[in-house]
Structure 1
Amino acid sequence: MSRIPMSPFKALTFTAASAFALLSAPAYAQDTASVDPITAAFTPSTAPNDHRIDYSIWDEAMKNLVISMGPSLRQTAGRPDQSFGSRRQYGHVSRYRLEGSRIMFSFLDADVRASFGEYRRDLEATADKVDIQELSRNEQLAYWINLHNVAMIEKIAEEWPVRQPRSIEVGGVPLDDAKFITVEGISLSPRDIREKIVFANWNNPKVIYGFWRGDIGGPSIQREAFNADNVSRLLDRGARDFVNSLRGTQKSGDTLQVSELFEEAAPFFFDDFNADVRGHIAEYANSDVMAILDQTSDIEANISEYDIADLAGGAREPTYQNIEGADGNQKSFRIPQSMARLLAQRDEKFRRIIREGRTGTVTFSNITLPGDPEDKDANEVE
């Protein structure tokens, strides 16, 4: 097995906080004459090799860059107080601000911001060294997810401070549709990677949860890079986090309210929207969400939150305060008041999780289930 190394990524330091055929090809038959050229160009090979791409640099970056807000308690966060000495509301005010994960854009200097573009180009160049389509399906999926997320972080970091990532344009084109990514000479947008490559060539809807959109309302970004060995596990983690959060599912009378992302993915995964989304959610639902499924019959995709998934709310606040440790001693650095308030709310949430015994998850892998084909890899997810 050969491994393709990536060039070094500039260090990130902050003072604030596989299997072959992971997912089978689409169940529906495609008329080759009607297949989008991008989909056709990046359709996975049926005879993959065993090459691997080394994402250790990006993995280290994620551990330094991402802060988890912890599992959802399915309770909305009330509107925060105004910043001291100001009538303006700084920081996050979203009712979902204690869900998902956050990227610390406000701590990035110019060199680190430039590193994202450098690493994105390194990933693009990897396709000049190896045919992406010839890799195992797990390896390909990890590549596309990492490339998508690196590109999103790069462009948001360049534009920060920005309140909503969807307002960003690249060359006059909205970020999601801007073709600033080039793989094997083909220009791609983040949406192209999601829909024309991954959604079109994988048939398990859990791939939705690998792609970070930059906003609070979308799936969480993970604190580790995707690779062929962990991609299934990380997608399952992302699915459980999202499905069991308020930004994923809510109840209104007899209606199951779900994220708008499910409607976006419907043409690929949810032909019978009500039945298929319910079935998908049931795979990952905890007892609270299972109760919602049992108590509702209609479905509506109307949940969204477009505010940026960072710590500062996409703005530079002029007022700061010192951070105190658990022993009451002041630290030697200061952060905006709104960020300190958010981190204090996060800390209280984690204390409550511990008090109520909501910690821990169990993940099963490397097991063979009854009915699995003899040649199926133990990590394969169909």
Structure 2
Amino acid sequence: MMTLPRVLARPALLAGAMLLGTVPAAAQTSAATPDLATFAPSGTPNKDGIDYSIWDEAMKSIVISMGPSLREGAPRPDPSFGTRRQYGHVSRYRLEGTRVMFSFLDADVIASFTEYRKDLEATADKVDIQSLSRNEQLAFWINLHNVAMVEQIANAWPVRQPREIMIDGVPLDDARFITVEGIKLSPHDIREKIVYRYWKDPVVMYGFWRGEIGGPSLQREAFNADNVGRLLARGAADFVNSLRGTQELGGTLQVSEHYREAAPFFFPAFETDVRAHLTRFADEATTGLLAKTTGVDPSISEHDIADLEGGVREPTYSNITSNGQAVSFRIPQSMAALLRERETKFQEIIREGRTGTVTFSNIALPGDPADKETDEVE
């Protein structure tokens, strides 16, 4: 059964968080192209925290996992019954990652996403974000980024590709519609000018959801200080060991275009650094792929929306069955076909005994201090 989320409530401040505060003086003005050095993490973190349980509940309600990659491209689906037009997803990566149920969201739920994003922004006026622990800060920036992306895509849906969305004439990823401590930010700013700038572990890449099938998955949990390392490692393993993350073509290792984008921050010696990073999360199949290929070509991309319906409303519907009996819930034919493919994939995973996962986190990096806390994402 598909359960839709309730209207979101305000994020709560955990015990010990500052309930009153002022915007830091350095952040009270906004430049056209902000340097964002004001968001550098403090060297003396406090014990304050933010509770994201409401967003956690929403993610469990609207995000559906397609399961681990089988490294088999999905075949092109048949057209919908009674028409030659192809509705729904046709991507060979459509059975990887996670999907958001945008077509089921009503106006009240979508409006609550905007209110929640604004409440997260306002939280930074009450809590000194820069003085939180590094994990608390990282969770804040990832959640704010992803809330904003879900909000804007939900407002624009139906849309085939999130990069088609414009806000006041500016592409979604570059639009500065997010305000923290009086500074206007875009999703791109949060990723590259704050997180990629002040965190040295490339695992942070996998927390940011771009709304596209070809990117890292949107997790079915909100990030927080305790789970951020685990969720990032899970996202990394999912992406690295998928077709949208790594493939072979003519003996060359193809990787996602996202690695090229992150190269200035994490992969200066591109081939060597990317291969070392992939090895960290590679399963047996991907380890074999790395061993038999040369070079690194960041050419894999898929910009279609990571939803269940392909960003288009289909005029034909199918009844959902349970134990062979029709129930009253009706969904588009293409969505029903996708869910059947998903079920077939899960049955194959069960037959092959591929039902467990192993997550490695808290990995020591070269140059780390001896007294580094092992649960902190650097």
TM-score, structure 1 normalization: 0.88
Cα displacement string for residues 5-24 of structure 1 (whole angstroms, at most 9, x for unaligned residues): xxx97169xxxxxxxxxxxx
The answer to whether the 8 Å contact 1:9/1:57 transfers is no
Residue in structure 1 matched with residue 332 of structure 2 by the alignment: 336
Measured in 1, the distance between the counterparts of 2:163 and 2:303 equals: 7
Measured in 2, the distance between the counterparts of 1:345 and 1:122 equals: 39
Letter in 1 for 2:105: L
Query: Structure 2 residue aligned with 1:50, among 40, 47, 50?
Result: 47
1:268 aligned onto 2:261: no
Structure 2 unmatched ranges of 5 or more: 10-32
User: SS of the counterpart of 1:38?
Assistant: coil
Residue in structure 2 matched with residue 250 of structure 1 by the alignment: 247
Could you say what the CA RMSD is over the residues aligned between the two structures, in angstroms?
Answer: 1.9
Change (3 A) 1:9 1:200: farther
1:303-314 to structure 2, matched below 5 A, reads: 303-314=300-311
Measured in 2, the distance between the counterparts of 1:310 and 1:269 equals: 29
Letter in 2 for 1:229: D
1:198-347 to structure 2, matched below 5 A, reads: 198-325=195-322, 327-347=323-343
Query: Structure 2 residue aligned with 1:350, among 339, 346, 352?
Result: 346
Residue in structure 2 matched with residue 26 of structure 1 by the alignment: none
Measured in 1, the distance between the counterparts of 2:364 and 2:308 equals: 42
Structure 1 unmatched ranges of 5 or more: 1-7, 13-35
Q: Measure how far apart 1:233 and its partner are.
A: 0.3
The answer to whether the 8 Å contact 2:66/2:98 transfers is yes
Measured in 1, the distance between the counterparts of 2:116 and 2:376 equals: 29
Residue in structure 1 matched with residue 151 of structure 2 by the alignment: 154
The answer to whether the 8 Å contact 2:134/2:377 transfers is no
Letter in 1 for 2:272: A
Residue in structure 2 matched with residue 124 of structure 1 by the alignment: 121
- Find runs of 4+ consecutive structure 1 residues off by over 4 angstroms: 364-369, 371-374
Measured in 1, the distance between the counterparts of 2:330 and 2:37 equals: 52
Change (3 A) 1:206 1:364: closer
User: SS of the counterpart of 2:330?
Assistant: strand
Measured in 2, the distance between the counterparts of 1:174 and 1:218 equals: 17
The answer to whether the 8 Å contact 1:39/1:200 transfers is no
User: SS of the counterpart of 1:73?
Assistant: coil
Cα displacement string for residues 168-221 of structure 1 (whole angstroms, at most 9, x for unaligned residues): 000000000000000000000000000000000000000000000001000000
Q: Measure how far apart 1:376 and its partner are.
A: 3.1
Q: RCO greater where, 1 or 2, for CA within 8 Å and sep 6 or more?
A: 1
Residue in structure 1 matched with residue 14 of structure 2 by the alignment: none
Query: Structure 1 residue aligned with 2:66, among 56, 69, 89?
Result: 69
Measured in 2, the distance between the counterparts of 1:51 and 1:80 equals: 50
User: SS of the counterpart of 2:36?
Assistant: helix
1:21-36 to structure 2, matched below 5 A, reads: none
1:59 aligned onto 2:60: no
The answer to whether the 8 Å contact 1:70/1:100 transfers is yes
Measured in 2, the distance between the counterparts of 1:281 and 1:160 equals: 34
Q: Measure how far apart 1:37 and its partner are.
A: 4.5
1:10 aligned onto 2:30: no
Q: Measure how far apart 1:87 and its partner are.
A: 1.1
TM-score, structure 2 normalization: 0.89
- Number of residue-to-residue matches in the alignment: 350
Cα displacement string for residues 80-129 of structure 1 (whole angstroms, at most 9, x for unaligned residues): 00000111100000000000000000000000111110000000000000
Change (3 A) 1:66 1:356: same
Measured in 1, the distance between the counterparts of 2:377 and 2:161 equals: 35
Residue in structure 2 matched with residue 363 of structure 1 by the alignment: 359
Measured in 1, the distance between the counterparts of 2:362 and 2:241 equals: 25
Measured in 2, the distance between the counterparts of 1:365 and 1:310 equals: 29
The answer to whether the 8 Å contact 2:162/2:211 transfers is yes
Residue in structure 1 matched with residue 22 of structure 2 by the alignment: none
Q: Measure how far apart 1:38 and its partner are.
A: 3.4
Letter in 2 for 1:343: L
Query: Structure 1 residue aligned with 2:182, among 156, 181, 185?
Result: 185
